[in-house]
Amino acid sequence: MIPAQFDYARANTLDEALNLLAQNDEAKILAGGHSLIPAMKLRLAMPPLLVDIARIKDLSYITEDAGQIRIGAMTTHYQIESSDLLKTICPLLPQCAGHIGDVQVRNKGTIGGSVAHADPAGDWPAAMIALNAEMIIASKSGERSVKADDFFLDLMTTAIEAGEILREIRVSKPAGRTGQSYVKMHHPASGFAVVGVAANLSLTSDGKCERASIGITGVAAKAFRPNGVESALTGAALNEETIASAATHAADGIEINGDLFALVAMSD
Ligand SMILES: Cc1cc2nc3c(=O)[nH]c(=O)nc-3n(C[C@H](O)[C@H](O)[C@H](O)COP(=O)(O)OP(=O)(O)OC[C@H]3O[C@@H](n4cnc5c(N)ncnc54)[C@H](O)[C@@H]3O)c2cc1C
């Protein structure tokens, strides 16, 4: 439970952090530390240099402008959970944040750290996919934007490359008759998702499903979009029968992770 030796540097600006990262390809960003420090203690991660971005004030914000919601990478789960703005315009975000860990975890852990960590049972990746979020990634050569569908590549692997920092998450403000929800089956010991489903649906004026955007976490090596469910819902009148029938496609083409707890729970 003792990490390998490492150097530590605190950045006060994004540029400073990018310069520090450029010094060592193996350097890692330290955000809330709630995933990285446990991994270091178990020696699953042994970065030679930690670049602490916790004091960069410019990375912590929630704004909305011209239909675009912007969330700084260092915004904590709690700030999102308690945001009156988000509760009004995009309730999936505070709802998802409220499912993460306990109060201490939510006060310290950040959306950027969670998304960059890409834990297969983490909550944010499902919401990012359902909301078609855009990840704004900064490097010394500028910025690029990566859609959530292209961002989560594999188990704990994202499109972020060495020398890059996830700076901001952008989500379009839902328009029209849109309904959103995040539902999670919590693992009784860890609190992480055995399965978590984020749904972002819009309806036509006659109550049919116009567009369905869904993300699922906890089930596979990475969060994914269940295309079969979305296709089955689109154009359908939403009722228990159509929803139950669409849900049978949730794991189409997906290699499901083994889970001792889920097997026991299902056989009870
Ligand atoms: C007891 C406990 C319970 C938890 N329960 C849950 C839960 O139920 N659901 C859930 O989703 N999570 C849970 N978590 C994880 C928690 O949400 C973490 O806060 C989160 O996964 C990581 O965020 P962080 O800010 O702590 O990142 P860190 O631990 O500091 O960093 C995580 C990784 O992301 C990288 N990174 C961080 N920020 C950036 C950035 N801006 N750009 C590029 N790379 C970056 C780091 O280098 C590191 O590799 C739990 C954690 C604990 C300790």
Mean pLDDT for 58-77 is 97
The pLDDT-based confidence of 199 (bands split at 50, 70, 90) is: very high
Our answer on whether the CB atom of 118 is closer than 6 Å to any ligand 1 atom is no
Alpha helices in the chain (DSSP H): 14-22, 36-41, 77-81, 84-89, 92-98, 103-108, 111-117, 124-130, 148-151, 227-233, 240-247, 260-267
Q: How far is 2 from 203, CA to CA, in rounded Å?
A: 53
Averaged confidence pLDDT in the chain: 95
pLDDT at 52 over 70: yes
Q: What are phi and psi of 183, to 5 degrees?
A: -120, 135
Task: Answer yes or no: are the C-beta atoms of 233 and 201 closer than 8 Å.
Answer: yes
Report the nearest atom of ligand 1 relative to the CA of 186.
Answer: 8
Report the nearest atom of ligand 1 relative to the CA of 34.
Answer: 26
pLDDT at 259: 76
Our answer on whether the CB atom of 115 is closer than 6 Å to any ligand 1 atom is no
The pLDDT-based confidence of 261 (bands split at 50, 70, 90) is: confident
pLDDT at 262 over 80: no
Mean pLDDT for 105-116 is 98
pLDDT at 142 over 90: yes
CA of 15 to the centre of ligand 1 (A): 22
Nearest to 168, CA basis, from 91, 109, 97, 116: 116
For atom 50 of ligand 1, the residue with the nearest CA is 101
Our answer on whether the CB atom of 127 is closer than 6 Å to any ligand 1 atom is no
Cα–Cα separations (whole angstroms), residue 85 to 92, 124, 172, 181: 12, 18, 14, 17
pLDDT at 265: 64
Mean pLDDT for 8-27 is 96
Task: Answer yes or no: are the C-beta atoms of 84 and 39 closer than 8 Å.
Answer: no
pLDDT at 258: 81
Our answer on whether the CB atom of 100 is closer than 6 Å to any ligand 1 atom is yes
The pLDDT-based confidence of 264 (bands split at 50, 70, 90) is: low
The single-letter DSSP state of residue 239 is S
Our answer on whether the CB atom of 29 is closer than 6 Å to any ligand 1 atom is yes
The single-letter DSSP state of residue 57 is G
Our answer on whether the CB atom of 191 is closer than 6 Å to any ligand 1 atom is yes
